[in-house]
Amino acid sequence: MSSVRAYTATSPTAPLTPGTIERREVGPHDVLIDIAYAGVCHSDIHTVRGDWGRVPYPLTVGHEIAGVVAHVGSEVTRHRVGDRVGVGCMVDSCRECVNCRAGVEQYCLRGFTDTYNGTDRDGSVTQGGYSEQIVVDEHFVLRLPESIPFERAAPLLCAGITTYSPLRTWKAGPGTRVAVVGMGGLGHMAVKIAHALGAEVTVLSQSLKKREDGLRFGADHYHATSDPDTFTRLAGTFDLIVNTVSASIDMDAYLDLLALDGTLVSVGAPPEPVPVTLFTLFENRRSFAGSKIGGIDQTQEMLDFCAEHDIAPEVEVIGADQVNDAWERVMASDVRYRFVIDVATLREPATA
């Protein structure tokens, strides 16, 4: 075991504080990563605040991790010391069930191991990327393309794959009309990726304040959902709607925007149940679905796709001692579009 510096949550209401966490020794198939940058995801906040269930404090969150391989186990074949690598939302799975064998480890029938707040192989609680180092099985370590800077690569490991996976699964591309609900960390990536796939892209955002950004990222159209006429004008329009917001919305109103055989996929997860009227699904033979990140192979595919198409998140780099302010700004939707922690600042004295 080794101790590394980290920012840690001690309760659902207390601010994150600097401290240390323990990392397991590097096993034969493990990779030790010096973390360079860690993205701030809304899921980090939901988890710490107990929105999604019980939390074993103290807990270090962060599942958008970019860094460099510092050491490899004796039987590692996928990575070498010095490689640019990343870690996303999962660090293990059974690798034996039908879903794991199909390359969709995120749907492991025994449950995959979350990067944080999961149960590690030794029974301990997994700790995330707001820290100096992490030890991960080589199978769950991704190769980062050279053309994507570390700070912009980190959010791809969650925001990127979370939006890429449903766009690929429901075949967004030329001739398809895709709507993206929300223009935050997930939404702006959905716009960029859907545009690169060749779809006609519409942003559905509460207001028009990010319209210029949306069009610059590749949206063809941009509408305010606070205007009731939007839902009337766009009824029956879209083949695919990707809902990226984690707040409750009137799902029936958005389902009404689907064309024949259209699908609404939610990747945002509000803490409370969202009602859906079945009769809304009956019209136009609509579907309502959910999607959870992506498998390891698809995540690597996404990284390579983003490198090929010059796609990367818009980020604001912060010091570790700014993370509590950043969380407040995330909750206030005051970020364009992803905070990323410069982990080198963990080695510096806190100033706030």
Tokens describing residue 128: 């995330």
Is 90 exceeded by the pLDDT of residue 350? no
Mean pLDDT confidence for 264-279: 90
Q: What percent of the chain shows pLDDT beyond 70?
A: 99
Q: Residue 52: its pLDDT value, please?
A: 86
Q: Which residues contact 221 (CB under 8 A, 6 or more apart)?
A: 200, 201, 202, 203
Q: Which residues contact 78 (CB under 8 A, 6 or more apart)?
A: 138, 139, 141
Is 90 exceeded by the pLDDT of residue 137? yes
What H or E segment, with its residue span, contains residue 200? strand 200-205
Cβ atoms of 9 and 60 closer than 8 Å: yes
- 225 residue type, one letter: T
CATH 3.40.50.720 domain span(s) along the chain: 162-290
Phi-psi region of 323 (alpha: psi -120 to 50; beta: other; left: phi over 0): alpha
21-35, 260-274, 305-319: the lowest-pLDDT one: 260-274
Q: Residue 349: its pLDDT value, please?
A: 57
Phi-psi region of 137 (alpha: psi -120 to 50; beta: other; left: phi over 0): beta
162-290: which CATH topology?
A: Rossmann fold (3.40.50)
DSSP per-residue letters across 129-198: SSBSEEEEEGGG-EEPPTTS-HHHHGGGGTHHHHHHHHHHHTT--TT-EEEEE--SHHHHHHHHHHHHHT
CA-based nearest residue to 176, from 194, 199, 153: 199
Is 50 exceeded by the pLDDT of residue 141? yes
CATH 3.90.180.10 domain span(s) along the chain: 2-158+294-347
Q: Residue 1: its pLDDT value, please?
A: 82
Cβ atoms of 139 and 75 closer than 8 Å: no
Q: Is 346 helix (H, G, I), strand (E, B) or coil?
A: helix
Is 70 exceeded by the pLDDT of residue 351? no
Mean pLDDT confidence for 321-334: 95
In whole angstroms, what is the distance from residue 144 CA to residue 88 CA? 12
Mean pLDDT confidence for 160-169: 98
Tokens describing residue 320: 């570790």
DSSP state of 59: B
Is 50 exceeded by the pLDDT of residue 352? no
CA dihedral angle for residue 224, residue 190, residue 89, residue 74, rounded to 10 degrees: -160
Identify the band that residue 4 occupies on the pLDDT scale cut at 50, 70 and 90: very high
In the block, which residue shows the tokens 């080794």? 2
Q: Considering the entire predicted model, what is its pTM?
A: 0.95
Q: Residue 269: its pLDDT value, please?
A: 81
DSSP state of 350: P
Mean pLDDT confidence for 104-117: 97
Q: Which residues contact 35 (CB under 8 A, 6 or more apart)?
A: 65, 66, 67, 129, 131, 132, 133, 134, 343
Q: Which residues contact 69 (CB under 8 A, 6 or more apart)?
A: 31, 32, 33, 34, 79, 80, 81, 82, 83, 85, 141
| CATH class given for the domain over 2-158+294-347 | alpha beta
DSSP per-residue letters across 63-123: --EEEEEEEE-TT--S--TT-EEEE-SEEE--S-SHHHHTT-GGG-TT-PEESSSSB-TTS
The radius of gyration computed from the CA coordinates of the chain, to the nearest angstrom, equals 20
Tokens describing residue 338: 């992803």
Q: Which residues contact 175 (CB under 8 A, 6 or more apart)?
A: none
Mean pLDDT of the chain, nearest integer: 95
